């Protein structure tokens, strides 16, 4: 199941990156947000993106309280892909100035990062065990076990929820950070596409490593076997 899900997402981001320019003009028109939220910072003689900051704040709130929400994986998926489309709206606007090959490379690069962040956060690299652990943790909260100081020492679910929260937040952060850079600086975060690809691959590898090894280390520490 996990392999099929990863394959579908991988194919999806490649297809999206290869879509014609007319599609990206539509994405730009619908999700670039225009000049909404851009404010001049007189103190710094620069511009702030209050829209991106607002979405980052909402992302933080969601990441902190996600385990209390019903159907949180669906809510996360909807919010994340809306964030992805917003980033791609800015990327497509910038990429139209580039040559066709460079344009495809930039869009694919950002899509790879988004796919790695999403798959890592949704649980595709750890057999979706975090979903079960979150359910157990929620039940423990209802029973008042969180009030016992030794609960976290004896049970691993609280640590899993914390790690999952970090994955959720940073998956949003990398997307909105790119959105903010593309929107305010009119370019991507790199001297050229080669260095940008290197940065993106490192970020993607860190997401995958955290999602796969992080949960395994927690389970090994608590002697959990599935």
Half-sphere exposure of 55 (CA within 13 A, CB side): 25
pLDDT surpasses 80 at 152: no
Report pLDDT digits (tens) over 34-64.
777 777 766 665 677 888 999 999 999 999 9
65-98 per-residue burial string, b: 16 or more CB within 10 A, e: under 16:
ebbeeeebbeebeebbeebbbbbbbbbbbbbeee
The per-residue pLDDT for 49 is 82
User: 44 or 138: whose pLDDT is higher?
Assistant: 138
What is the rounded CA–CA span in Å between residue 107 and residue 137? Answer: 39
What phi-psi label fits residue 65: left (phi over 0), alpha (psi between -120 and 50 degrees) or beta? alpha
pLDDT surpasses 90 at 1: no
Report pLDDT digits (tens) over 114-125.
999 999 999 888
Within its chain, how far is the Cα of 143 from the centroid? 32
**pTM metric for this prediction:** 0.88
**Dihedral of CA 6/199/56/24: which sign?**
negative
The per-residue pLDDT for 154 is 67
What backbone phi and psi angles, to 5 degrees, belong to 39? -125, 145
Q: How far is CA 210 from CA 36, 131, 201, 214, in A?
A: 35, 16, 14, 5
């Amino acid at each position: 199941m996990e392999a099929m899900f990863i394959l579908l997402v991988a194919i999806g981001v490649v297809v999206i990156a290869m879509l014609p320019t007319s599609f990206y003009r539509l994405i730009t028109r619908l999700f670039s947000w225009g000049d909404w939220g851009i404010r001049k910072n007189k103190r710094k003689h620069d511009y702030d993106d209050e829209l991106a900051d607002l979405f980052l704040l909402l992302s933080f709130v969601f990441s902190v309280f996600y385990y209390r929400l019903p159907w949180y994986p669906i809510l996360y998926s909807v919010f994340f892909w809306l964030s992805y489309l917003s980033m791609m709206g800015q990327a497509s606007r910038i990429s139209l100035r580039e040559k066709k090959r460079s344009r495809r490379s930039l869009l694919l690069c950002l899509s790879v990062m988004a796919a790695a962040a999403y798959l890592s956060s949704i649980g595709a690299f750890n057999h979706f065990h975090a979903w079960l652990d979150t359910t157990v943790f929620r039940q423990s909260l209802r029973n008042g076990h969180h009030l016992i100081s030794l609960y976290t020492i004896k049970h691993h679910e609280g640590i899993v929820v914390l790690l999952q929260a970090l994955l959720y937040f940073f998956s949003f952060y990398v997307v909105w950070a790119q959105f903010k850079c593309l929107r305010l600086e009119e370019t991507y975060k790199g001297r050229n596409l080669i260095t940008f690809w290197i940065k993106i691959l490192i970020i993607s590898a860190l997401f995958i490593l955290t999602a796969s090894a992080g949960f395994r280390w927690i389970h090994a520490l608590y002697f959990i076997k599935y």
